[in-house]
Amino acid sequence: MAEQQAVQRRRGRGGRERVLAAATALFEVQGINTTSMEQVAAAAPVSKRTLYAHFPTKDDLVVSYLRDLVESGRTLEGVLERADLPPEERVLALFEAPDDVDPIRGCPFIDAAAEFPDPTSPVHEFAAEQKRRLLAHLTDLTSALGAANPRSLAEQLAVLVDGAASRSMVLNDANCAQHAKAAARALLAAATPDHREPG
């Protein structure tokens, strides 16, 4: 009996993982709102019953997709937690566009918030929380760099990050990130005049 239950649990996890993988692929190619739950179930493949057992609503699925991106480190913000890099390098790494992505995808949180514009929706709230989390990380790093007003500098850097992601996606041009990186360097230099990168 215990062995049968273990098998069922493994199958359940496998079904959930297949649903998330299918949803991720479909969301990134055709967007969230244009992807139906039926399409996700067919791509997984799982029955609709299994799909709705794991994700009772579309909101549940989208929030789980976004949370999976965060927890797996597949977002740019993950670099801010890298203890092997000094603070300034972590900040500047936010502007490193991947070389092997065509077309360039924008920030998944901005994309999700745009597709769920109601600020009280679970998806929009989760996306907003990730933007607040980004700001908190940047504030910690700019404080470590000795900025006189770390919160203000962090806000400016966050605007550059989001602007670069959106512009890169719209124009499908990775050079947008490099322009933003140059602006970020200038902001850091102006706000932390006593900071020197280690040689």
Residues 109, 59 contacting (CB under 8 angstroms): no
**Token pair of 75 as six digits:** 């977002």
**Residue-level pLDDT, tens digit, the chain, 199 residues:** 444 444 344 444 588 999 999 999 999 888 899 999 999 999 999 999 999 999 999 999 999 999 999 998 888 788 888 889 999 999 999 998 766 666 788 899 999 999 999 999 999 999 999 999 999 999 999 999 999 999 999 999 999 999 999 999 899 888 899 999 999 999 999 998 665 544 4
Q: Which residues of 101-139 are buried (b: 16+ CB within 10 A; e: fewer)?
A: eeebebbbbbbbbbbbeeeebebbebbeebbeebbebbb
| Greatest C-alpha distance within the chain | 67
What pTM was computed for the model? Answer: 0.83
- Residue 11, judged by CB atoms within 10 A of its CB (0-12, 13-18, 19+), counts as exposed
Which pLDDT score is estimated for 101?
66
Which pLDDT score is estimated for 127?
97
Which pLDDT score is estimated for 98?
66
- Compute how many other C-beta atoms are within 10 angstroms of the C-beta atom of residue 45: 13
Closest CA relative to residue 87, chosen from 127, 147, 34? 147
